[in-house]
Structure 1
């Protein structure tokens, strides 16, 4: 069955819009007439996506798909889990949640899932074939839940995980907004001073018989350079950004860039702790849902957005397959914090690996929150001092000739 978006006219003369499933446009038009509606326009929602799937590679498909927001995905996941726990079949749960979706995007997304599941596909397969994009680890986790027969439990824990990760992401983003805003404003102010203010102020000294101080000459030269090459500088910046993004599409260069970030003092530790927190929570949810550790390690590697860390987790999977315990494999990886290693080893010996992983995730999520606040508290004064130093330099360059004129007149 296909999904159609319709526009119709009610018996009262009002325009109505919505989504309806059917084998053909003719069937959908008849269904609308049976409801007392006069169809005005029909459009197959997933026709373009199906054509893309037939003609493009899987990578290009994922790039072209419209992404579902984490907040909407979390809410829908929790609603579906609640209905499944109440004993409702998956198809009815999807249909019920779709009918209550607050946005047109989520309504289309959930309706497409309902259509696929009604045809006999599993939920994971429906997500993979959907014209909308969701995280790979999300699909892999649901697939594992269906394979283990614990889909309700997996969905419930998955919604908790998504909500916690979204809260952490928002806290880190909100903490970094102010420093980033300061940097942008500082650059804009300096550019404005160099292009518009400095030339007008310093032009007063053009008729002076004596030479200008070195600082003032340097400021004038910098100002003239910025004025003459401002467009070229802007084009160069845009070109650099485009070239950088092009390089990052290559796994080799992306791996090198991620390695540099992870080795950067302060920032590297911050990134590792954030990645470890996300990975620990995902792995803990999978193990708690009955997924074998080997499979859970492979699935959880998808949440590692930095390639060197992802390779480390995949190496963990290989080591565990060879017979090592998870704690031993993590110790050999040399990237995991000591506290998490102790928790994992304790969890393996006591049979509470899932609980220890979730406890470690909570600890490092809190650590990331406090670290982001500390990082901002350090960056703010540094940015203020740097900006003040630049402005002071410009002011001194302007005032020095004035001081010399006063001394000559005195």
Structure 2
């Protein structure tokens, strides 16, 4: 969330700044780390736009730069100091200063990062903490970079596949709304003036056109309410959770969405296990990254594994695995390379998802174009059919 505060800077001037943080304490800590004195701090008003100079902290770029400096032989303290001084515009200098202060006070890197949960996710902090005991911080950062790249890749494919259908639906909705609420009422007025209504059957065009002309405010209000309801479906957490549960039980799409989430689950578990984190701790950390509809299943799996049961049997009982994944988990448990097998499971699921996305895109896009074309064609036919009737009367 975003906070707005008044600070006294090093030039003894009062200025207003915006800061993103998970809570008030983190926001105050970030501002204090920049050397400023916090005079007032409160939650920003809802709908307050982010200033153009206050861009989100890019963790991917941070990891790449930090890894390059560590690879070159720099210490962690020197690397963070260099990155902070390299931020010439000072957009995220407070983040670097907060981490650097923690390191200079004798804390480990994971402890310094844990104080900024809005910047460094718990998964990342846990990986760094586990690697600090073995001195493999550089390897942990490289592993997280690879994990983030793989997750972003499949997410990008899903977003790219959904962009064109979303544009088709949006444009089609606008065209149909324009025809129904603007064009059709004016056509019906022309037909009424021409005396086509004395045929005894005014038809849908005259009826709908008269309704919109007599209730213009209500018709447009219904359109805006519908748009607001659609936006609510994608924004409100409770509605999204209920909608997601309905999607999961759908015969064709639900299975694909479930496979996509399983890929993310096993990818995260494999990354954490390869970083030296225990199975139970990794499962608990991964629970927060799953949709709410699947968190209860993973919680049951954690309980069963904590009781000493094999993970391969628990995951399939909790609806968090498939036959192929279960066999790979069995192989991983017997050979002791469970993390590698989880990576293979995630790769298998990602490949399956990619194939499905390509197939669905080739089917959905033509179907949407055909459906929208038929609807628009039917409306146009309704608009011009009274003209043919008038010609026959004449």
Q: Structure 1 length normalisation: TM-score?
A: 0.76
Residue 323 (structure 2) pairs with residue 338 (structure 1) = yes
Partner Cα distance (2:55, 2:259) in 1: 26
Q: Secondary structure at the match of 1:133?
A: coil
Residue 148 (structure 2) pairs with residue 176 (structure 1) = no
Correspondences of 1:195-210 after superposition (within 5 Å): 195-206=181-192, 207-208=195-196, 209-210=198-199
Extract unaligned runs of 5+ from structure 1.
1-23, 30-38
CA shift, 1:246, in A, is: 8.1
Partner Cα distance (1:108, 1:392) in 2: 58
Residue 377 (structure 2) pairs with residue 382 (structure 1) = no
Correspondences of 1:216-365 after superposition (within 5 Å): 216-220=205-209, 223-224=212-213, 227-237=216-226, 240=229, 248=237, 255-304=241-290, 306-365=291-350
Report if aligned partners of 2:81, 2:100 keep a CA contact under 8 Å in 1: yes
Residue 386 (structure 2) pairs with residue 401 (structure 1) = yes
Over 3 Å counting, the alpha-carbon distance change for 1:189 and 1:76 in structure 2 is same
Over 3 Å counting, the alpha-carbon distance change for 1:191 and 1:245 in structure 2 is closer
Q: How many residues align?
A: 364
Partner Cα distance (2:104, 2:231) in 1: 43
Report if aligned partners of 2:316, 2:322 keep a CA contact under 8 Å in 1: no
Over 3 Å counting, the alpha-carbon distance change for 1:124 and 1:174 in structure 2 is same
Partner Cα distance (1:285, 1:160) in 2: 9
Residue 330 (structure 2) pairs with residue 372 (structure 1) = no
Q: CA RMSD in A?
A: 3.6
Over 3 Å counting, the alpha-carbon distance change for 1:297 and 1:117 in structure 2 is same
- Indicate the residue corresponding to 1:157 in structure 2: 143
Partner Cα distance (2:383, 2:231) in 1: 38
Residue 38 (structure 2) pairs with residue 53 (structure 1) = no
CA shift, 1:270, in A, is: 2.2
Over 3 Å counting, the alpha-carbon distance change for 1:357 and 1:169 in structure 2 is same
Over 3 Å counting, the alpha-carbon distance change for 1:211 and 1:176 in structure 2 is same
- Indicate the residue corresponding to 1:13 in structure 2: none
Partner Cα distance (2:258, 2:134) in 1: 31
Over 3 Å counting, the alpha-carbon distance change for 1:195 and 1:259 in structure 2 is closer
Correspondence for 1:91 among 73, 77, 87: 77
Report if aligned partners of 2:241, 2:293 keep a CA contact under 8 Å in 1: yes
Partner Cα distance (1:89, 1:54) in 2: 26
Q: Secondary structure at the match of 1:398?
A: helix
Q: Deviations over 1:118-152 (max 9, x none)?
A: 22333333233238434333333333334565432
- Indicate the residue corresponding to 1:128 in structure 2: 114
Partner Cα distance (1:197, 1:177) in 2: 28
Extract unaligned runs of 5+ from structure 2.
1-7, 29-41
Report if aligned partners of 1:150, 1:290 keep a CA contact under 8 Å in 2: no
Report if aligned partners of 2:248, 2:258 keep a CA contact under 8 Å in 1: yes
- Indicate the residue corresponding to 1:32 in structure 2: none
CA shift, 1:393, in A, is: 1.7
Partner Cα distance (2:203, 2:143) in 1: 66
Over 3 Å counting, the alpha-carbon distance change for 1:227 and 1:144 in structure 2 is farther
CA shift, 1:183, in A, is: 0.8
Over 3 Å counting, the alpha-carbon distance change for 1:125 and 1:221 in structure 2 is farther
CA shift, 1:345, in A, is: 1.2
Q: Structure 2 length normalisation: TM-score?
A: 0.79
- Indicate the residue corresponding to 2:5 in structure 1: none
Q: Secondary structure at the match of 1:88?
A: coil
